Amino acid sequence: MTRRLLAVEWDRREVRVAVADAVGRRCTIVDSFVLAHAADTEMGPAQVSESGSRLAQMLSDRDIRCRDVMVVMGRTGTELRVLTVPPAPEHELPALVRFQALRQFSSLDDNGPLDYFPLAVPPAEGADATRRVLAASISPVVVQQVQAWCRAAGLKPQRMLLRPCTLASWWRSSTGGPQKSRSVRLLVRLLADEADLVVLQGGEILVMRSVRMPEASPETTDHRSLASRWVDVLLPEIRRTLGAIDHHDTADGAAAGGVTLCGEPEVVMALQDRLESALGWPVDFLGVDPSPAAPSPIRGPAFVSGISAAAPNVVRFAPLYGALQDEAAERPPEIDFLNPRRAPPPVSHRRRWIAAVTATLMILTFGTGYATRERARLDRQIEDLAARSKSLDRAVAQSNGLISQTKQLNGWAARDINWLEELWYLSKSLPEPGQVRVTGLEMRALDQGGGSALLTAMATQSEQIAATENRLRDIHHVVRGEGGTFNKKSPDEKYPWTFRINLDVKGKAP
Residue 83: inside a domain: no
Judge contact between 110 and 94, C-beta under 8 A: no
Judge contact between 268 and 190, C-beta under 8 A: yes
Residue 217: inside a domain: yes
CA distances to 135, 232, 348 from 84, in Å: 10, 34, 29
Q: What percent of the chain has pLDDT over 70?
A: 84
Q: What CATH number did the domain enclosing 203 receive?
A: 3.30.420.40
pLDDT of 20 > 80? The answer is: yes
User: What pLDDT shows up at residue 282?
Assistant: 87
pLDDT band at 61 (very low <50, low <70, confident <90, very high): very high
Cα–Cα distance for residue pair 387/96, rounded to 1 Å: 74
DSSP 75: S
Q: Mark residue 74 as left, alpha or beta (left: phi above 0; alpha: psi -120 to 50; beta: remaining).
A: beta
> pLDDT tens digits for 132-141?
899 999 988 8
Which residues, listed in sequence order, are joined to residue 16 by a DSSP beta bridge? Answer: 9, 34
DSSP 461: S
User: What pLDDT shows up at residue 294?
Assistant: 31
User: What pLDDT shows up at residue 18?
Assistant: 93
> pLDDT tens digits for 199-210?
888 788 888 888
Q: What CATH number did the domain enclosing 461 receive?
A: 3.30.1360.100
Cα–Cα distance for residue pair 131/36, rounded to 1 Å: 42
Higher-confidence position of 443 and 256: 443
Residue 467: inside a domain: yes
Residue 292 belongs to what domain range? 177-304
> pLDDT tens digits for 229-242?
788 888 888 888 88
pLDDT of 177 > 70? The answer is: no
Domain boundary among 246, 272, 304: 304
> pLDDT tens digits for 335-344?
999 999 887 7
Per the structure, the count of domains in the chain is 2
User: What pLDDT shows up at residue 311?
Assistant: 42
CA-closest candidate to residue 184, choices 167, 207, 210: 207
**Residue 192: half-sphere exposure toward Cβ, Cα within 13 Å:** 10
CA-closest candidate to residue 99, choices 90, 108, 91: 108
Residue 474: inside a domain: yes
Cα–Cα distance for residue pair 193/210, rounded to 1 Å: 11
Judge contact between 168 and 205, C-beta under 8 A: yes
In the β-sheet with 451-459, what is the strand arrangement from edge to edge?
436-445, 451-459, 497-505, 477-486
CA-closest candidate to residue 10, choices 200, 179, 178, 153: 153
The H or E element spanning position 479 is strand 477-486
Report the chain's mean pLDDT, rounded to a whole number: 80
Residue 46: inside a domain: no
Most confident range, picked from 107-121, 277-291, 311-325: 107-121
User: What pLDDT shows up at residue 126?
Assistant: 45
Mean pLDDT of 103-109: 86
Strand, helix or coil for residue 60: helix
Domain boundary among 304, 331, 357: 304
Higher-confidence position of 294 and 355: 355
> pLDDT tens digits for 32-50?
898 887 554 567 788 888 8
Domain boundary among 251, 277, 304: 304
Least reliable range by pLDDT among 176-180, 377-381, 394-398 = 176-180
pLDDT band at 313 (very low <50, low <70, confident <90, very high): low
Higher-confidence position of 481 and 7: 7
User: What pLDDT shows up at residue 412?
Assistant: 64
Residues 6+ apart with CB under 8 A from 11: 74, 76
Residue 470: inside a domain: yes
DSSP 118: E
Residues 6+ apart with CB under 8 A from 186: 197, 198, 199, 200, 238, 241, 242, 258, 259, 260, 281
User: What pLDDT shows up at residue 305?
Assistant: 34
Cα–Cα distance for residue pair 247/194, rounded to 1 Å: 29
> pLDDT tens digits for 246-291?
544 555 445 557 888 887 777 777 788 888 888 888 888 775 443 3
> pLDDT tens digits for 405-433?
888 777 666 667 788 888 888 888 888 87
User: What pLDDT shows up at residue 259?
Assistant: 87
pLDDT of 310 > 80? The answer is: no
Cα–Cα distance for residue pair 376/501, rounded to 1 Å: 69
Residue 459: inside a domain: yes
Buried b (16+ CB within 10 A) or exposed e, 385-397: eeeeeeeeeeeee
Cα–Cα distance for residue pair 94/344, rounded to 1 Å: 10
φ, ψ for residue 223, nearest 5 deg: -70, -30
> Following DSSP, what letter does each residue of 123-168 receive, concatenated?
PPSSTT--EEEEEEEE-HHHHHHHHHHHHHTT-EEEEEEEHHHHHH
Judge contact between 307 and 286, C-beta under 8 A: no
Residue 209: inside a domain: yes
Angle formed at CA 152 by CA 150 and CA 156, multiple of 5 degrees: 35
